[in-house]
């Protein structure tokens, strides 16, 4: 910690130096080394002004206070600097903790992405298997009975009443559906 004192129209004595250094010891524990401090003490008319400028590894803190007694000005300025240092330290630690938390979450919940063994993206779907089904003329009741004995979930038949091809299929809810094309 390097402290530089500047006095303007003020007689700098050892008492105010030691008082300022004692007060700044509380602030030093919140900032990172190297620390450079410039303390400017000034008198204007009847006002005593204390200006503190603290530079540390992660930034700069600054406070100016003006009262009728120099010790009060120094005390208030150091309190402001300490509040700024606490806030910046809390922000810095919060960012580190959030970064650590995201790294831990990634390692805690591993996710494997498995590519499907299908064609690469952008390719057209292709026919994998083809079957030939006979279309027999039968009534809806006969198609229903035959569907119950098949391993497929559908049956294609020709309705003899209107000579149209229909599809009877099993639905997921356990019921049946009938597809009748319109021409």
Residue 22 sits in the same domain as residue 59: yes
Question: What is the model's pLDDT at position 170?
Answer: 86
Statement to judge: residues 163 and 101 lie in one domain: no
Beta bridge partners of 159: 164
What percent of the chain lies above the pLDDT cut of 70? 81
For the entire predicted model, the pTM comes to 0.52
Residue at 130 is within a domain: no
Residue ranges for the chain with pLDDT beneath 70: 96, 99-123, 130, 183
Q: Give how many domains the chain has, as a whole number.
A: 2
Domain containing residue 141: 136-179
What confidence score (pLDDT) does residue 106 get? 47
Tokens of 84: 């700024």
CATH of the domain at 165: 3.30.505.50
Assess if residue 91 is contained within a domain: yes
Beta-carbon contacts of residue 70 (< 8 Å; ≥ 6 apart): 10, 16, 41, 48, 50
Residue 127 falls within a domain, yes or no? no
Domain shared by 10 and 93, yes or no: yes
Q: Does an H or E element contain 171, and which?
A: none
Q: Helix or strand or coil: residue 155? A: strand
């Amino acid at each position: 910690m390097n402290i530089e004192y500047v006095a303007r129209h003020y007689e700098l004595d050892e008492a105010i130096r030691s008082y300022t250094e004692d007060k700044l010891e509380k602030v030093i524990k919140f900032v990172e080394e190297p620390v450079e401090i410039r303390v400017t003490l000034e008198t204007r008319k009847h006002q005593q002004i204390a200006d503190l400028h603290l530079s540390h590894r992660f930034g700069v803190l600054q406070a100016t206070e003006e009262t009728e007694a120099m010790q009060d000005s120094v005390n208030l300025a150091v309190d402001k600097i300490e509040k700024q240092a606490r806030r910046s330290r809390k922000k810095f630690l919060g960012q580190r903790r959030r970064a650590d938390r995201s790294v831990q979450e990634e390692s805690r919940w591993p996710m494997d992405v498995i590519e499907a063994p299908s064609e690469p993206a952008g390719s057209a779907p292709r026919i994998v298997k083809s079957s030939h089904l006979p279309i027999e003329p039968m009534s809806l009741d006969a198609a229903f009975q035959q569907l119950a004995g098949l391993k497929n979930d559908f049956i294609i038949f020709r309705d003899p009443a209107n000579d149209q091809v229909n599809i009877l299929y099993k639905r997921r809810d356990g019921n049946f559906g009938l597809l009748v094309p319109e021409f």
